């Protein structure tokens, strides 16, 4: 197996294990009572997927309670695709033949493993597979791997995207998991939509320069297109609002993930997240499909970007916010859809994890950034923010960043609990895991109060 997504930090594990009584260095804060869940692609032994995203999903979990790390366990998401069932059938797509390997969330008391081309899969608290979940037959299309839960209303916003009509459907579920509304979004195209954004009053979709490509045979039929118009779509939240969506043309590029969006004091929509140009996209795509060509233009990575949509003027201002190559932006989710001060990301010096990867903290008020490098051969995961007990609206960064570090030097992994107020201080706690955990994509902290 020479594909980059099957080697090094990304090499899959061959089995499911459970380990209890993990070693903890330092002191776990009492508010860390719950489970950290991470998801990614982990094909079975002997299987080489044609694309990184085609590998079957595996969820890794770490249970914390009363200052102890009670267990680690990893489980494949047992979907039909895990056993080789094809996604496309004579009758069309099989929405249960999911990799379920991109994200894992909790909503309405259900744990859901997500992959944007299919239905979500429900898991038990111990990560065993329950089965495909269709919101009591209210969801008849795929579900994005990046839903957004409003921290004030508890509503879950998500979408279904397809390279064929209907290209885009927006859904809203209540805090207890009932689908309240579903509406097709007019004017959408076949452009790839992996993530989106939510503000207090609006839903924001971004269509970049990547769209359906029938000539792409990796199993993920998308590619860069100079002819695809890049746009931002802004629609109000509420039943029937999709028909009033407004589309604003922007410069070429593609944003895979967005840190946040909000409405500023002038009523403008501000969206932030990393974005790549054509060379950066192709470099990533070649890695995902195992193509040998890894060359790219200098400084072609994924850099922080801000789009400010002036609804009154009908215009968009675009600006690069940083020159680091970063991805996997996160924030304190209590500020989702509202103006935030701090955001976090993972800095990538190279593709292989050999260089000095770092976690980055941005202060949007001062314009400063702080890096925590991890050293050669160590790759941290996307940082998940957990608020400290008693933290209020004025204490946005009072809390902890949880990151799972893959260490090729020791063939081991550890969970670090970092003080989010200062990345330079020693970890609050380090939890030694019973195996090297492969580099993962997305995950969530599930506190006991919502488990």
Three-state SS string over 78-132 comes to CCHHHHCCCCEECCEECCCCCCCCCEEEEECCEEEEECCCCCCEEECCCCCEEEE
Count of CA atoms in the C-beta half-sphere (13 A) of 241: 16
Cα–Cα distance, 376 to 373 (Å, whole number): 9
pLDDT in tens, 292-335: 765 556 567 899 999 999 999 999 999 999 999 999 999 999 99
Cα–Cα distance, 325 to 347 (Å, whole number): 6
- Residue 450 is predicted with a pLDDT of 55
- Residue 243 is predicted with a pLDDT of 94
| DSSP structural state of residue 176 | T
Chain center to CA of 156: 15
Beta bridge partners of 211: 191, 223
Count of CA atoms in the C-beta half-sphere (13 A) of 172: 18
Whether residue 28 has pLDDT greater than 90: yes
Closest CA relative to residue 191, chosen from 157, 169, 170, 222: 222
Cα–Cα distance, 406 to 36 (Å, whole number): 16
Q: How confident is the model at residue 34 (pLDDT cuts 50, 70, 90)?
A: very high
- Residue 47 is predicted with a pLDDT of 95
Q: Classify residue 92 by burial, with Cβ atoms within 10 Å: 0-12, 13-18, 19+.
A: exposed
- Residue 449 is predicted with a pLDDT of 76
pLDDT in tens, 197-246: 999 999 999 999 999 999 999 999 999 999 999 999 999 999 999 999 99
- Looking at per-residue pLDDT, the higher value among 365 and 92 belongs to 365
120 neighbors 108 (Cβ within 8 angstroms): no
Distance spanning both ends of the chain, measured CA to CA: 38
Q: How confident is the model at residue 343 (pLDDT cuts 50, 70, 90)?
A: very high
Give the helix ranges, DSSP H, for 233-307: 278-289
- Residue 91 is predicted with a pLDDT of 82
Q: How confident is the model at residue 126 (pLDDT cuts 50, 70, 90)?
A: very high
pLDDT > 90 in the chain, percent: 90
Cα–Cα distance, 153 to 143 (Å, whole number): 21
- Residue 392 is predicted with a pLDDT of 79
| DSSP structural state of residue 284 | H
Q: Which residue range forms the structural domain that includes residue 15?
A: 4-450
For residue 166, cis peptide bond before it (omega within 30 degrees of 0): yes
Q: Mean pLDDT over residues 53-70, rounded?
A: 97
Strand order in the sheet with 197-198: 197-198, 202-207, 231-236, 246-249
Tokens 């400290």 locate to 388
State the chain's mean pLDDT as an integer. 94
CB atoms within 10 A of CB 150: 18
Give every CB contact of residue 355 below 8 A, 6+ residues apart in sequence.
Answer: 349, 376
**Domain total for the chain?**
1
117 neighbors 103 (Cβ within 8 angstroms): no
- Residue 358 is predicted with a pLDDT of 96
Q: Mean pLDDT over residues 113-133, rounded?
A: 97
- Residue 92 is predicted with a pLDDT of 82
Three-class SS state of 432: strand
Q: How confident is the model at residue 101 (pLDDT cuts 50, 70, 90)?
A: very high
| DSSP structural state of residue 283 | H
- Residue 398 is predicted with a pLDDT of 97
Give every CB contact of residue 91 below 8 A, 6+ residues apart in sequence.
Answer: none
Q: Classify residue 174 by burial, with Cβ atoms within 10 Å: 0-12, 13-18, 19+.
A: middle
User: Strands, E, within 165-283: which ranges?
Assistant: 168-173, 179-184, 197-198, 202-207, 210-212, 222-224, 231-236, 246-249, 260-263, 269-275
pLDDT in tens, 247-304: 999 999 999 999 999 999 999 999 999 999 999 999 999 999 998 765 556 567 899 9
- The sign of the torsion formed by the CA atoms of 232, 142, 108, 110 equals negative
Tokens 């509420």 locate to 238
Look up the CATH number of the domain holding residue 323: 2.130.10
Cα–Cα distance, 450 to 287 (Å, whole number): 37
Cα–Cα distance, 97 to 78 (Å, whole number): 10
């Amino acid at each position: 197996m020479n594909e980059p997504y099957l080697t090094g930090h990304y090499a899959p594990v061959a089995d499911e294990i459970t380990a209890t009584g993990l070693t903890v260095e330092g002191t776990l804060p009492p508010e860390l009572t719950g489970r950290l869940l991470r998801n990614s692609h982990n094909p079975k032994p002997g299987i080489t997927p044609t694309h990184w995203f085609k590998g079957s999903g595996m969820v890794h979990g770490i249970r914390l309670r009363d200052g102890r790390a009670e267990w680690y366990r990893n489980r494949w998401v047992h979907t039909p695709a895990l056993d080789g069932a094809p996604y496309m059938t004579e009758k069309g797509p099989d929405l249960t033949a999911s990799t379920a390997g991109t994200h894992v969330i909790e909503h309405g008391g259900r744990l859901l493993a997500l992959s944007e081309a299919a239905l979500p899969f429900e898991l038990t608290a111990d990560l065993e597979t329950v089965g495909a979940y269709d919101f009591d037959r209210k969801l008849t299309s795929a579900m994005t791997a990046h839903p957004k839960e409003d921290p004030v209303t508890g509503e879950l916003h998500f979408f279904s995207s397809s390279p064929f009509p209907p290209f885009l459907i927006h859904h809203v579920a209540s805090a207890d998991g009932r689908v309240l509304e579903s509406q097709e979004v007019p004017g959408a195209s076949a452009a790839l939509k992996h993530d989106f954004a939510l503000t207090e009053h609006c839903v924001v979709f971004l269509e970049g320069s990547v769209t359906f490509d029938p000539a792409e045979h990796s199993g993920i039929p998308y590619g860069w297109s100079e002819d695809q118009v890049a746009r931002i779509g802004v629609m109000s939240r509420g039943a029937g609002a999709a028909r009033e969506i407004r589309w604003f043309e922007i410069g070429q590029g593609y944003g895979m993930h967005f840190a946040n969006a909000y409405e500023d004091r002038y009523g403008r929509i501000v969206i932030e997240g990393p974005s790549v140009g054509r060379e950066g996209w192709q470099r990533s795509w070649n890695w995902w499909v195992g193509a040998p060509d890894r060359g790219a233009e200098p400084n072609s990575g994924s850099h922080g970007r801000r789009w400010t949509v002036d609804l009154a003027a009908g215009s968009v201002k675009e600006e690069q916010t940083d020159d680091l190559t970063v991805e996997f932006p996160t924030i304190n989710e209590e500020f989702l859809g509202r103006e935030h001060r701090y955001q976090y990301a993972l800095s990538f010096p190279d593709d292989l994890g050999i260089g000095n990867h770092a976690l980055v903290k941005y202060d949007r008020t001062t314009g400063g950034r702080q890096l925590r490098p991890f050293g050669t051969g160590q790759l941290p995961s996307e940082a998940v923010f957990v608020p400290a007990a008693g933290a209020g609206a004025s204490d946005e960064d009072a809390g902890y960043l949880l990151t799972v570090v893959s260490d090729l030097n020791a063939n081991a992994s550890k969970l670090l609990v970092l003080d989010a107020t200062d990345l330079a201080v020693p970890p609050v706690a380090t939890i030694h895991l019973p195996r090297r955990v492969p580099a993962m994509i997305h995950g969530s902290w599930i506190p006991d109060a919502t488990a």
